[in-house]
């Protein structure tokens, strides 16, 4: 008997369970009501649960073939527990799960969930109202205090699931693919819940891995000839949408490297030739414009030896144009009015540009730093700095621009006690403001932020030709007294400088030829483009 | 033979002018060398200016000076703290600390700009357009009076037509298209003419400025070479 039991049990075990080693020695149970082998396997499971035992394991392996028996009726028998009557299986009838020597007496398959039985009340009663046989086993003390040793057959019996539990588990598509070897390694014994005592029932997620090679599917599109034709048509439509549509009505000359080289060659050659030959073919501009007249009047109204504030706000790249425009203005002013100049700049390089200007084009006047002129240097803060300077200049720019020979000298020179600023404590105490700029925004900032502080002071702007169109309205509205812009303005002003020679005259011929060349190129290019357009239209008309 | 400073500066100027003018043949290593050196020198110069003309005279020297009162030194701690907070912007983790200073700068800058634009540009320009029709200064001189009225009219209508061009309010038509009012459409068309003239004037100014710069550079090249001939 002892030696036969494992064999009998193994015969009824699925393969995955047969591999489980015996955890405890199998001891024969000394019981008068010794059950047959199958009964031993089922252990303490009540009869209704024995009958409900599945005939196959949850892993798809078929259990021992049961004896042929008629399928039990789904009607709960009269002797079954009442609480079980609420669970009626909707599954197809199943044969008794276990092959027993003695057929189980009319044990119906445990009912699976039916829609009506899933109410909360029934579910509560399922887990709170225990059946009599279970409550009795809990309440009554055991007759035999010695624990019944667990055998392999016990484990197997605990691992078997009733059909109603099986009905609750997910569809076993994935589980069925697990190898028995993998699952048999899952020796976890459920300790809680409805599955307490079952071993290896649910596969652990980390261990889930298909061992069989996935079926290979062909990636070739299974499409009929008609479908492929439709797809090709759709592809053509989409490709046509993505193509750029040419603008038929617009054709223009395109810049090319050769055209650029030709223009550059023309400009460089002609201008260099004119400058090298120092020609004076073109006459200087005659007649003053209103804005230059305004500048002349403003400069002429400056009292002798009075303080004048000069703002240098241009980039070093524009130094050629700005010095040509500003030199005749300052030359005339220094010659006739001998003002005390004060330089300031909102541009970082403005301070050294001011030094270059006073020691370059105006070197002949002999102005010395700290005596006849003073450089306040860089004024930080942009528009806020300009406004602060307009309101309180001695606080905003207290020191003179350092020109110490010692590179690391930190000695600061208070500016407002030096001769050029003698008697000046506010912006309105200057006799004139002169702004030299290549930027319309800079001009706008100085005009806007000093409006209230400067009052009726003469304000002259010397600007680059590129900024002049945007500064012109300020002259029209009489916010500035005069405007001298670009080489043209410098040339006009030079005509009013008592015939003193200036740089404008040197540049004037090259400038005039350069302007004529640009006009010729633009006009010629436009006419050429017009001719091309007319030719294309004529060709299109002929084609029609 | 002593080499004068003018000769050195002239040679450097000559060399870098050629490097930059080499862009005529397209982007090339010579042009890149010139621009890279220019950018580096400019950045270094600006940094030096910021240190020697802003940080040291306006912050460091007053703080270490014995002649400055404690109150003034305390006030100087405000910009010092602001500068330190701004420096935090270079760290992604601490950049949030610079927001207060940026908010202050933005707010003050916007206020100054808007106030300046209102008082220094908008109102004076409106008044200037109105005053263009002031006849009082030209009484007795029919020619100047006519010129003044013509100029005023051109400025006035040019402003109106140009503003009309930027009026994009439209109404749906029966065919589903959106069109501006007929009068606005006419004004906008005329406004385009004024805008075209303005852009033409700006282009001419830009070309004139660039041409003058080219002339100045070529003249310096010729003068430099002429010194050796």
Residues A289 and A149 in one domain: no
Whether residue B142 lies inside any domain: the answer is: yes
Whether residue B80 lies inside any domain: the answer is: no
What confidence score (pLDDT) does residue A219 get? 75
Please tell me the distance from the alpha carbon of residue A106 to that of residue A51, in angstroms, as a whole number.
Answer: 8
Chain A residues whose CB is inside 8 A of the B113 CB are 383
A276 CB near a chain B CB, below 8 Å?
yes
- The average confidence (pLDDT) of chain B is 89
Total domains in chain B come to 2
Yes or no, beta carbons of B121 and A448 under 8 Å apart: yes
Whether residue B98 lies inside any domain: the answer is: no
CATH number, domain with residue A499: 3.40.50.720
Smallest CA-to-CA distance from A278 within A489, A517, A487, A507 is with A507
| Closest chain A residue to the Cα of B17, Cα to Cα | A317
**For the CA atoms of A172, A174, A175, A181, what is the dihedral angle to 10 degrees?**
160
Chain B residues whose CB is inside 8 A of the A260 CB are 24
What confidence score (pLDDT) does residue A466 get? 93
Chain B residues whose CB is inside 8 A of the A515 CB are 207-208, 211
A387 CB near a chain B CB, below 8 Å?
yes
pLDDT tens digit sequence for A497-524: 887 888 899 999 999 999 999 999 999 9
ipTM over 0.95: no
Which of B68, B90, B117 represents a domain boundary (last residue)? B68
Nearest residue, CB atoms, B218 vs list A272, A452, A477 = A272
Counting beta carbons within 10 angstroms of the beta carbon of residue B183, is it exposed (0 to 12), middle (13 to 18) or buried (19 or more)? exposed
Q: Residue A360 pLDDT > 70, yes or no? A: yes
Nearest residue, CB atoms, A276 vs list B50, B207, B222 = B222
Chain B residues whose CB is inside 8 A of the A466 CB are 202, 205-206, 208-209
Whether residue A235 lies inside any domain: the answer is: no
Yes or no, beta carbons of B216 and A465 under 8 Å apart: no
- A 10 A CB-CB count for B115 gives 15
A378 CB near a chain B CB, below 8 Å?
yes
Which domain does A97 fall in, by range?
A: 4-198
Please tell me the distance from the alpha carbon of residue A242 to that of residue A258, in angstroms, as a whole number.
Answer: 33
Yes or no, beta carbons of B53 and A321 under 8 Å apart: no
For the ranges A8-12, A25-29, A64-68, B198-202, the maximum mean pLDDT occurs at B198-202
- Tokens representing A122 are 């029934």
Give yes or no for a contact between A463 and A326, defined as CB atoms under 8 angstroms apart: no
Interface test with A, best of B123, B150, B211 (most A CBs within 10 A): B211
Residues B137 and B225 in one domain: yes
| Residue ranges of A 477-536 with Cβ closer than 8 A to chain B | 477-479, 485-488, 506-507, 510-511, 514-515, 518
Please tell me the distance from the alpha carbon of residue A274 to that of residue A279, in angstroms, as a whole number.
Answer: 6
Whether residue B194 lies inside any domain: the answer is: yes
pLDDT tens digit sequence for A207-230: 556 567 777 777 777 788 899 899
Contacts for B14-17: CB closer than 8 Å, 24+ residues apart: B14/B220, B14/B221, B14/B224, B14/B225, B17/B217, B17/B220, B17/B221
Give yes or no for a contact between A326 and A313, defined as CB atoms under 8 angstroms apart: no
Question: In Å, how far is B177's CA from the nearest CA of chain A?
Answer: 22
What confidence score (pLDDT) does residue A255 get? 65
Residues A165 and A295 in one domain: no
Residues A308 and A404 in one domain: yes
Q: Residue A285 pLDDT > 60, yes or no? A: yes
Nearest residue, CB atoms, B215 vs list A264, A348, A507 = A507
Counting beta carbons within 10 angstroms of the beta carbon of residue A526, is it exposed (0 to 12), middle (13 to 18) or buried (19 or more)? exposed
Which of A180, A198, A216 represents a domain boundary (last residue)? A198
Smallest CA-to-CA distance from A157 within A251, A49, A268 is with A49
Whether residue B109 lies inside any domain: the answer is: no
Nearest residue, CB atoms, B26 vs list A257, A465, A511 = A257
What confidence score (pLDDT) does residue A85 get? 53
pLDDT tens digit sequence for B36-71: 999 999 999 999 999 988 998 888 888 888 888 899
- Tokens representing B16 are 């870098």
Total domains in chain A come to 2
Whether residue B117 lies inside any domain: the answer is: no
**Comparing A196 with B77, which gets the higher pLDDT?**
B77
List Cα–Cα distances, A90 to A96, A166, A482, in angstroms: 16, 12, 103
What confidence score (pLDDT) does residue A118 get? 46
Q: Residue A139 pLDDT > 80, yes or no? A: no
Chain A residues whose CB is inside 8 A of the B56 CB are 410
Whether residue A254 lies inside any domain: the answer is: no
Residues B228 and B136 in one domain: yes
Whether residue A164 lies inside any domain: the answer is: yes
DSSP A189: B
Chain A residues whose CB is inside 8 A of the B211 CB are 511, 514-515, 518
In this prediction, residues A430-448 reach a mean pLDDT of: 95
Whether residue B3 lies inside any domain: the answer is: yes
In this prediction, residues B69-75 reach a mean pLDDT of: 90
**Comparing B121 with A187, which gets the higher pLDDT?**
B121
Whether residue A326 lies inside any domain: the answer is: yes
Which of B34, B68, B102 represents a domain boundary (last residue)? B68
Chain A residues whose CB is inside 8 A of the B6 CB are none
Residues A503 and A384 in one domain: yes
What is the pLDDT confidence band of residue A104, given thresholds at 50, 70 and 90?
very low
Question: In Å, how far is B147's CA from the nearest CA of chain A?
Answer: 13
Q: Residue A191 pLDDT > 70, yes or no? A: yes
What confidence score (pLDDT) does residue A467 get? 94
List all residues 6 or more positions away from B122 whose beta carbon is below 8 Å from its beta carbon: none
Whether residue B45 lies inside any domain: the answer is: yes
Please tell me the distance from the alpha carbon of residue A505 to that of residue A279, in angstroms, as a whole number.
Answer: 10
What confidence score (pLDDT) does residue B132 get? 81
Counting beta carbons within 10 angstroms of the beta carbon of residue A339, is it exposed (0 to 12), middle (13 to 18) or buried (19 or more)? buried
Nearest residue, CB atoms, B53 vs list A275, A317, A377 = A377
In this prediction, residues A105-125 reach a mean pLDDT of: 48
Question: In Å, how far is B170's CA from the nearest CA of chain A?
Answer: 27
Question: In Å, how far is B78's CA from the nearest CA of chain A?
Answer: 16
When mean pLDDT is compared across A172-176, A183-187, A289-293, A400-404, the lowest value belongs to A172-176
Chain B residues whose CB is inside 8 A of the A377 CB are 53
pLDDT tens digit sequence for A39-65: 444 455 555 655 555 554 444 444 444
Residues B137 and B64 in one domain: no
Which of B19, B34, B68 represents a domain boundary (last residue)? B68
Which domain does B207 fall in, by range?
A: 132-229
pLDDT tens digit sequence for B176-209: 788 888 888 899 999 999 999 999 999 999 999 9
| Closest chain B residue to the Cα of A514, Cα to Cα | B211
Please tell me the distance from the alpha carbon of residue A351 to that of residue B48, in angstroms, as a whole number.
Answer: 13
Residues B62 and B152 in one domain: no
What confidence score (pLDDT) does residue A224 get? 87
């Amino acid at each position: 008997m002892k030696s036969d039991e494992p064999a009998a049990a193994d015969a009824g075990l699925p393969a995955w369970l047969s591999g489980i080693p015996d955890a405890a020695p199998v001891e024969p149970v000394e019981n008068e009501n010794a059950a047959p082998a199958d009964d031993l396997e089922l252990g303490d499971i009540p009869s209704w649960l024995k009958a409900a035992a599945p005939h196959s394991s949850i892993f798809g392996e078929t259990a021992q073939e049961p004896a042929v028996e008629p399928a039990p009726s789904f009607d709960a028998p009269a002797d079954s527990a009442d609480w079980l009557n609420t669970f009626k299986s909707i599954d197809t009838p199943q044969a008794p799960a276990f092959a027993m020597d003695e057929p189980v007496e009319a044990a119906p398959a445990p009912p699976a969930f039916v829609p009506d039985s899933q109410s909360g009340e029934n579910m509560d009663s399922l887990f709170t109202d225990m059946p009599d046989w279970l409550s009795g086993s809990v309440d009554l003390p055991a007759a035999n205090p010695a624990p019944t040793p667990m055998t392999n057959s016990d484990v197997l019996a605990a691992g078997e699931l009733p059909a109603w539990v099986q009905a609750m588990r997910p569809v076993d598509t994935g589980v069925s693919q697990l190898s028995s070897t993998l699952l048999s390694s899952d020796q976890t014994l459920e300790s809680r819940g409805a599955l307490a005592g079952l071993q290896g029932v649910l596969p652990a997620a980390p261990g889930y891995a298909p061992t069989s090679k996935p079926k290979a599917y062909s990636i070739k599109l299974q499409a009929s000839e008609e479908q492929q034709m439709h797809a090709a048509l759709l592809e053509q439509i989409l490709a046509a949408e993505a193509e750029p549509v040419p603008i038929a009505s617009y054709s223009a000359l395109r810049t090319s490297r050769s055209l650029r080289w030709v223009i550059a060659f023309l400009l460089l050659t002609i201008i260099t030739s004119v400058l090298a030959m120092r020609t004076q073919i073109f006459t200087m501009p005659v007649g003053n414009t209103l804005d230059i007249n305004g500048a002349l009047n403003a400069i002429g109204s400056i009292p002798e030896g009075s303080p004048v504030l000069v703002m240098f706000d241009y980039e070093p790249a524009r130094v050629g144009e700005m010095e040509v425009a500003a030199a005749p203005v300052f030359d005339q002013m220094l010659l006739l009015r001998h003002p005390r100049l004060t330089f300031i700049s909102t541009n970082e390089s403005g301070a050294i540009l001011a030094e270059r200007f006073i020691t370059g084009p105006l070197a002949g006047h002999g102005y010395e730093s700290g005596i006849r002129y003073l450089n306040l240097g860089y004024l930080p803060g942009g528009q806020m700095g300009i406004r602060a300077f307009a309101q309180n200049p001695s606080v905003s720019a207290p020191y003179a621009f350092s020109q110490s020979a010692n590179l690391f000298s930190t000695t600061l020179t208070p500016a407002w006690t030096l001769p050029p600023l003698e008697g000046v404590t506010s912006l309105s105490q200057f006799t004139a403001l002169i702004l030299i700029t290549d930027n319309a925004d800079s001009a706008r900032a100085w005009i806007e932020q000093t409006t209230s502080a400067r009052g009726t002071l003469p304000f002259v702007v010397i600007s680059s030709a590129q900024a002049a169109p945007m500064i012109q309205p300020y002259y029209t509205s009489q916010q500035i007294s005069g405007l001298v812009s670009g080489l043209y303005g410098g040339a006009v002003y030079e005509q009013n400088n008592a015939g003193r020679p200036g740089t404008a005259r040197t540049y004037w011929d090259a400038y005039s030829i350069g302007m004529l060349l640009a006009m010729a190129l633009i006009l010629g290019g436009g006419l050429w483009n017009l001719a091309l357009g007319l030719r294309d239209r004529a060709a299109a008309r002929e084609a029609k | 033979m002593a080499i004068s400073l003018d000769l050195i500066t002239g040679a450097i100027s000559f060399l870098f002018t050629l490097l930059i003018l080499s862009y005529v043949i397209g982007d090339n290593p010579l042009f890149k060398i010139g621009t890279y050196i220019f950018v580096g020198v400019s950045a270094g110069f600006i940094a030096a200016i910021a240190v020697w003309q802003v940080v040291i005279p306006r912050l460091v020297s007053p703080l270490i000076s014995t002649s400055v009162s404690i109150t003034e030194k305390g006030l100087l701690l405000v910009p010092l703290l602001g500068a330190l907070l701004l420096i935090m912007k270079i760290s992604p983790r601490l950049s949030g600390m610079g927001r207060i200073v940026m908010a202050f700068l933005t707010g003050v800058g916007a206020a100054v700009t808007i106030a300046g634009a209102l008082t220094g540009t908008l109102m004076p320009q409106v008044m200037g357009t109105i005053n263009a029709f002031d006849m009082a200064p030209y009484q007795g001189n029919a020619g100047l009076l006519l010129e003044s009225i013509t100029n005023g009219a051109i400025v006035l209508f040019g402003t109106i037509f140009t503003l009309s061009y930027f009026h994009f309010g439209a109404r749906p038509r029966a065919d589903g298209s959106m069109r501006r009012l007929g009068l606005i459409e006419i004004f906008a068309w005329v406004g385009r003419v004024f805008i075209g003239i303005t852009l033409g004037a700006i282009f001419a100014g830009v070309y004139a400025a660039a041409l003058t710069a080219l002339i100045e550079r070529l003249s310096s090249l010729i003068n430099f070479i002429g010194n050796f001939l």
